[in-house]
């Protein structure tokens, strides 16, 4: 009897244009009598990498459950069909395509541009590998119908992905339902249609000039022109082996800030990410080289982009931290940037003589710090908590600033409708320089924030799994037998977002409201095989908030242990 999925593997091999994936699949087929090879074939062909609101993202390799040229061709042809179906009769749909420095990113982008052009669309390819925010900007700059960014952001080195944006009424935001489902159906029709070699291709795509990059640089430098107090500022920057440095350095120069000391080992794009086990500034050890550079250069702070530069990490000197440096949490940075945005909105309101109540808003994902709502209330601004992801945050009405705790910040919504680690870096440079001019630091700004708005503390528990069904099991158990307390902290109310809460779209999220104003939110990760718990408390002092958070974290772990 022929091993399961062997026929699918042979059909795949017949259409695969990539010599590397052809070779690996040929070897698997040749050894298909071996149980390990059969298990590998099952993993590669037993399911299909799903296209959703995050587009596609997965491990590189041959098969329907991997990122490869076959899957990308199907995705491009499906997206082209969707755009043709939803476009106007008198205008040819257009797509702009960008790519980062990961393995196969350029090849996937070229394949996509050729297929878009072959479908009769106006296809524009960015001039070279560039950060994700430049692609998001380019969708609006070219007034494109859609954009595609080939990146896996901060995922492991052997991953890649396919991120889709829509223009027009979506203003260059990432796709949301129902568009994602409609695109997925078109992709499925292409996939079931057979051989990708029959998909029309054309070399008539346009290679964009540097004008789009120059326009992004000018708009981003305008976020925070350097004040006089920036002169002599010592800081460190790392690109985490990604594509951020070329663009960031030009923005920093255009804004008038002093150049940083760079982490030379991580400054150039390298798809192997040789100095980090996981190219994510949030991961333990990822910023060790940056801290080492900061200590040797007597830096005032560190800024780090992830590999596609859509996220920003900030670190400050801290004598209590191991090695003397501490990375700020995404919530800490988000609250500082949100405070900045609220002050600027209030100043603009005073200059224009507009009423106290305005339609200007601050927005964050529902798992991010509740402190942003306190800021909004303080300044008379609207506030929106959205489902996780900037596809939702970017759509908040009247948004002046949005963030999520996973190091994502949207500080310039008129330019980029997505998280942008470069514009966030410029905003942080502006904050640091202003603080410097008043004789304080970023740490001093955090202390000022606490004195003004209160003491917020957050933590996160992540459970990485090999089998995704484990996450489903835990979520089911939490719904079926809801805990009445986490440790000694009693549960007051539970929101199950599957049923829809507070006008939010349905989502696989549980929100536990606890006595004393604490909160725990549980949800599966949208991009990694993880279950995530987000814990937030507010205390009467920093010590009180830390004590409350430690007790809540211990209680949450007890509940999780009881379910395993």
Alpha-carbon distance of 153 to 102, in angstroms, equals: 9
Q: What is the DSSP letter of 52?
A: B
DSSP helix/strand/coil, 153: coil
CB-CB neighbours of 419 under 10 Å: 29
DSSP helix/strand/coil, 11: helix
Alpha-carbon distance of 532 to 465, in angstroms, equals: 11
Per the structure block, which two tokens stand in for 112? 């996509």
**Phi/psi at 338 (5° precision):** -65, -40
Alpha-carbon distance of 373 to 382, in angstroms, equals: 8
On whether the CB atoms of residues 260 and 232 are closer than 8 A, the answer is: no
Residue 82: left (phi > 0), alpha (psi -120 to 50), or beta?
Answer: alpha
Of the candidates 237, 434, 425, the residue with the CA atom closest to the CA atom of residue 333: 425
Per the structure block, which two tokens stand in for 314? 């900030």
Q: What is the DSSP letter of 356?
A: S
Alpha-carbon distance of 78 to 96, in angstroms, equals: 16
Alpha-carbon distance of 554 to 552, in angstroms, equals: 5
CB-CB neighbours of 30 under 10 Å: 10
Of the candidates 172, 199, 186, the residue with the CA atom closest to the CA atom of residue 69: 199
DSSP helix/strand/coil, 175: coil
Q: What is the DSSP letter of 91?
A: S
Within 353-492, residue ranges assigned H as helices are: 371-378, 390-393, 421-437, 442-453, 469-480
Catalytic residues: 153
DSSP helix/strand/coil, 296: helix
């Amino acid at each position: 009897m022929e091993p399961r999925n062997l026929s699918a593997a042979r059909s795949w091999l017949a259409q695969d244009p990539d010599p590397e994936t052809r070779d690996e699949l040929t070897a698997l087929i040749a050894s298909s009598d071996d149980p390990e090879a059969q298990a590998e074939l099952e993993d590669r062909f037993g399911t299909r990498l799903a296209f959703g609101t995050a587009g596609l993202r997965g491990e590189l390799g041959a098969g329907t459950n991997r990122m490869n040229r076959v899957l990308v061709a199907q995705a491009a042809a499906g997206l082209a069909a969707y755009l043709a179906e939803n476009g106007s009769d008198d205008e040819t749909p257009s797509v702009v395509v960008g790519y980062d420095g990961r393995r196969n990113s350029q090849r996937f982008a070229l394949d996509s541009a050729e297929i878009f052009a072959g479908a009769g669309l106006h296809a524009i390819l960015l001039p070279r590998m560039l950060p994700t925010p430049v692609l998001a900007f380019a969708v609006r700059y070219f007034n494109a119908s859609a954009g595609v960014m080939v990146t896996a952001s901060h995922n492991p080195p052997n991953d890649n992905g396919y991120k889709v944006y829509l223009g027009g009424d979506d203003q260059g935001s990432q796709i949301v339902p129902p568009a994602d489902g409609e695109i997925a159906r078109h992709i499925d029709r292409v996939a079931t249609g057979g051989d990708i070699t029959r998909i029309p291709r054309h070399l008539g795509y346009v290679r964009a000039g540097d004008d789009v990059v120059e326009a992004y640089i000018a708009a981003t430098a305008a976020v925070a022109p350097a004040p006089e107090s920036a002169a002599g500022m010592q800081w460190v920057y790392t690109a985490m082996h990604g594509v951020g440095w070329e663009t960031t350095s030009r923005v920093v120069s255009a804004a008038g800030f002093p150049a940083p000391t760079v982490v030379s080992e991580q400054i150039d794009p390298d798809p192997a990410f040789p100095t980090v086990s996981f190219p994510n500034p949030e991961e333990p050890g990822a910023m060790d080289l940056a801290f080492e550079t900061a200590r040797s250069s007597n830096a005032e702070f560190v800024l780090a982009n992830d590999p596609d530069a859509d996220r920003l990490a900030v670190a400050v000197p801290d004598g209590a931290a191991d090695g003397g440096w501490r990375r700020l949490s995404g919530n800490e940075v988000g609250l500082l940037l949100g405070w900045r945005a609220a002050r600027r909105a209030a100043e603009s309101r005073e200059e224009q003589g507009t009423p106290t109540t305005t339609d200007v808003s601050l927005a964050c994902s529902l798992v991010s710090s509740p402190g942003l709502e306190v800021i909004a209330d303080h300044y008379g601004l609207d506030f929106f908590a959205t489902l996780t992801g900037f596809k939702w945050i970017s759509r908040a009405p009247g948004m002046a600033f949005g963030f999520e705790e996973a190091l994502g910040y949207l500080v310039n919504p008129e330019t980029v409708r997505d998280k942008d680690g470069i514009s966030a870096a410029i905003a942080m440079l502006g904050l640091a320089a202003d603080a410097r001019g008043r004789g304080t630091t970023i740490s001093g700004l955090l202390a000022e924030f606490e004195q003004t708005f209160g003491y917020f503390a957050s933590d996160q528990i992540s459970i990485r799994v090999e089998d995704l069904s484990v996450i489903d099991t835990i979520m089911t158990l939490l719904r079926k037998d809801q805990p009445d307390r986490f440790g000694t902290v009693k549960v007051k109310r539970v929101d199950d977002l599957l049923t829809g809460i507070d006008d939010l779209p349905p989502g696989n999220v549980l929100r536990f409201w606890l006595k004393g104003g604490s909160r725990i939110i549980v949800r599966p990760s949208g991009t990694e095989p993880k279950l995530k718990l987000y814990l937030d408390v507010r205390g009467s002092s920093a010590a009180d908030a830390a004590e409350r958070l430690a007790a809540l974290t211990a209680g949450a772990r007890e509940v999780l242990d009881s379910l395993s």
